[in-house]
Amino acid sequence: MAKTTELICVTCPMGCKLTVTHEGDTILGIEGNVCKRGEAYAQTELVDPRRMVATTVQVVGGVHPLVPVYTTAPIPKPLIFDLLSELRQVKLRAPILAGRVVLEDALGTGVTVLTSRDLPAAPG
Amino acid sequence: MAKRTVDVAVIGSGPGGLAAAIAAKKEGAGNVLVVERDVEMGGILLQCIHHGFGTEILGADLPGPAYAQRFEQEAISLGVETLLDTMVLDITPTRQIVAASESSGLLEVQARSIVLAMGCRERTRAQITLPGARPAGVYTAGMAQRFVNVEGFVPGRRIVILGSGDIGMIMARRLTFEGAKVARVVEIMPFLSGLMRNYVQCLLDFDIPLQLGHTISRIIGRRRVEAVEVVQVDDQWRPVPGTEEIIPCDTLLLSVGLIPENELSRNVGVALDPVTGGPYVDERFETTMPGIFAAGNVVHVYDLVDWVTEAGYVAGKHAARFAAGDRAGQLDYVRLEAGENVRYVVPHVLTRDQLPGESIKLQMRARQPIEKPVWVELRDGEKRLIRRAERYARPGEMLTLVLPERSYEDVRQAETLTVNVLER
Ligand SMILES: Cc1cc2nc3c(=O)[nH]c(=O)nc-3n(C[C@H](O)[C@H](O)[C@H](O)COP(=O)(O)OP(=O)(O)OC[C@H]3O[C@@H](n4cnc5c(N)ncnc54)[C@H](O)[C@@H]3O)c2cc1C
Ligand code: SF4
């Protein structure tokens, strides 16, 4: 059965509203895209939507109680909350350098999670 | 009082200030000093932990703190000096800076040139007149961002956000990540005020409802927020009777806009544009006071940090040249005016005889959205100097028109130039 799904392309700031007709993962037609990149967007968004994730992890002995961390590539959207729970278990000790690997192959996705900044140890 | 002399003093260590300091050093300034009131450098980016920074000028999609740290490291390696935990209290027309820090008390710096890079602050409840009680639990989105991302404290469990600005939408997602429930985002305008990308990835992805053409008419709760009353507005922003709805929540976040931070500029006598809230500047980002330059959100609120960095480079370079004594007499200006469907354009003036040997970016905001192809054009009366096609124009997305060197002769002939945004 053919279905229609409404999407908004975010490939550029224009933000076209796409009406995608598809049967399962197979796209039958797209309307509303101003340029061709909208088609590629609809394809990935329909089959395997992914997002970048940024959050914080706990730090012991730092100038702040947290250090920000980020994924270096987008992870599948349905895994976002699992990744957040996993990162909630992590505790790092200051001093911390930017780019330190927090998770190497997060949830088996092959995506790395890194610290976003240096975090010096608290004085004293 | 401790006293010292520097070539270029930069006030603020956000991306605008850091870029100015880097460019000043590269232009040959001897002593470049950055004064920052916070205990660390980087400005507001330190709390912007989400992605989206650096795609234009670094070709990388970085979180805010990582973006800031790159420029911090570059500044340090070039020999830029810093005074942290030091608040600038006053500057004088002769470019003396008075600052205070807890560790060294009052200090005075004599600078040959100054770059103002104090950034912007958020509009608060006082500036938007929100009726109702004044219970705890009302914060600006940026305050909440600092609580959650730097201090590690989540301000509420059930949240309503007023304003569809980017910071508010980004906080809606962030608070959802931290287990809070964002009940609604309410926007008084009939259109989104932030970027579409943020609407999709921060609200739609997590089924957070957005209500356009609505506002908050009342805050309910005695000690702590217990609910807010939301109401539809007509095209004059008047509440439509009978559309009131009570939404239970323990926290209200305000994401209702940013204003350039210009206490210091005002006190020293720098003329401010009532439309942008920032100083009038020429294409080198010099203000109306000779030797006092301005860079970044202190001038007007940018949507992309990359452009703040670029503006900082321009300001810093010319501040270094000014410090080196590169200035002969009075400057003569060509005025640049916001014409049809343009709310403002920066720079405000162009120097007739000092136009730099590089193309100049004219950056502007449209007054009204046009969801159709438009021309962005620059005119001298009947004569069109340049124009550029855009697919649409929206107040939330800055428009840029590049003034190429080949147009400089036309600029020099003009008294006043006008920029327009017109339907194609
Ligand atoms: C809460 C908030 C969130 C934002 N989120 C985003 C975002 O997600 N993405 C985005 O692109 N942009 C965001 N912005 C806009 C952001 O401000 C700019 O992109 C960029 O950080 C501006 O750089 P800047 O150097 O002009 O100012 P800032 O980064 O604000 O830096 C100004 C610096 O000046 C210092 N300062 C101010 N007054 C004094 C004084 N008297 N003495 C000494 N130091 C002083 C401040 O402490 C600060 O470090 C946000 C802005 C705010 C307010
Ligand atoms: S379809 Fe093309 S024009 Fe429309 S948002 Fe996507 S990339 Fe931009």
pLDDT digits (tens, 9 = 90+) for B96-152: 999 999 888 999 999 999 999 999 999 876 556 677 778 899 999 999 999 999 999
Is the pLDDT reported for residue B293 higher than 90? yes
Q: How far is CA B275 from the centre of its chain?
A: 13
Is the pLDDT reported for residue A48 higher than 90? yes
pTM equals 0.94
Interface mutation target, options B45, B46, B51, chain A, most CBs of A under 10 Å: B51
Task: Classify strands B292-294 and B181-187 as parallel, antiparallel or unpaired.
Answer: unpaired
Task: Classify strands B360-366 and B349-351 as parallel, antiparallel or unpaired.
Answer: unpaired
Is the pLDDT reported for residue A24 higher than 90? no
Whole-number mean pLDDT of chain B?
A: 94
Beta sheet of A17-23, edge-to-edge order = A3-8, A17-23, A26-31
Instruction: State both tokens at B10.
Output: 């930069």
Beta sheet of A91-93, edge-to-edge order = A91-93, A54-60, A66-71, A113-115, A101-103
Measure the CA–CA gap between A9 and A40, rounded to whole angstroms: 10
Measure the CA–CA gap between B67 and B142, rounded to whole angstroms: 18
Higher pLDDT, residue B37 or B256: B37
Q: Which ligand is nearest to the CA of A13?
A: 2
Measure the CA–CA gap between B249 and B242, rounded to whole angstroms: 21
| Percent of chain B topping pLDDT 90 | 84
Architecture field, domain A54-115: Roll (3.10)
A88 → chain B, closest CA residue: B178
Global ipTM: 0.93
| Percent of chain A topping pLDDT 90 | 87
Higher pLDDT, residue B353 or A119: A119
Mean pLDDT of the region A78-100: 97
Is residue A32 lining ligand 2, measured as CB closer than 6 Å? no
Phi, psi of B183, rounded to the nearest 5 degrees: -75, -35
pLDDT of B129 reads 67
pLDDT digits (tens, 9 = 90+) for B319-351: 999 999 977 678 899 999 999 999 999 999 999
pLDDT of B126 reads 58
Is the pLDDT reported for residue B358 higher than 70? yes
pLDDT of B102 reads 87
In chain B, what are the domain boundaries? 1-121+258-327, 124-256, 332-424
Alpha-carbon distance B395 to nearest alpha carbon in chain A (angstroms): 13
Tell me, yes or no, if A73 comes closer than 8 A to chain B by beta carbon: no
Measure the CA–CA gap between B165 and B303, rounded to whole angstroms: 11
Half-sphere exposure of B138 (CA within 13 A, CB side): 24
CATH number of B124-256: 3.50.50.60
Q: Are B418 and B337 in contact (CB under 8 A)?
A: yes
pLDDT of B420 reads 97
Is the pLDDT reported for residue B282 higher than 70? yes
Higher pLDDT, residue B20 or B353: B20
pLDDT of B297 reads 97
Cβ partners under 8 Å of residue A46, min gap 6: A5, A7, A20, A22, A25, A27
Q: Are A32 and A39 in contact (CB under 8 A)?
A: no
Is residue A24 lining ligand 2, measured as CB closer than 6 Å? no
Is the pLDDT reported for residue B216 higher than 90? yes
The CATH superfamily of B1-121+258-327 is FAD/NAD(P)-binding domain (3.50.50.60)
pLDDT of B296 reads 97
Q: Are B158 and B250 in contact (CB under 8 A)?
A: yes
CATH number of B332-424: 2.60.40
Largest CA distance in chain A: 67
Measure the CA–CA gap between B22 and A88, rounded to whole angstroms: 38
Domains B1-121+258-327 and B124-256 agree in fold: yes
Higher pLDDT, residue B129 or A41: A41
Is residue A57 lining ligand 2, measured as CB closer than 6 Å? no
Atom of ligand 1 nearest to the CA of B121: 53
Phi, psi of B377, rounded to the nearest 5 degrees: -130, 155
pLDDT of B363 reads 97
Mean pLDDT of the region A38-62: 94
Mean pLDDT of the region B65-69: 97
In chain B, what is the straight-line distance between the N-terminal and C-terminal CA atoms, in Å?
61
Q: Using the structure block, give the residue that is written with the tokens 């989206």.
A: B52
